[in-house]
Structure 1
């Protein structure tokens, strides 16, 4: 299926969000189609052709 990950179009065999991004380190979050997916749901969140996935890193600062 064709997915967009952080702005990059790719062909992937991933079925779930976890299949695509694996376990994310602390301070990272993932969203599918502009909806944040809680870490506990990554293995259950099914992906579909055309989904847009963003993985972001929280940065502390002042």
Structure 2
């Protein structure tokens, strides 16, 4: 778990906020509303971030 939080700490602010909200079990709709981006954009960014996490950890 420490490696995941280290990964998150090195992300740009938007990606960091997105991942932390996701880990806090918010829906894509809720995350989008908080960050001011579309639900689709949230889902796309999460998918790409998950791929990067799998590759790096």
Do these two structures clear the TM 0.5 threshold for a shared fold by scoring above it? no
Between structures 1 and 2, the one with greater strand share: 1
Bigger relative CO (Cα 8 Å, ≥ 6 apart): 1
Between structures 1 and 2, the one with greater helix share: 2
TM-score (norm 1): 0.25
TM-score (norm 2): 0.26
Instruction: Work out which of the two has the higher radius of gyration on C-alpha atoms and give 1 or 2.
Output: 1
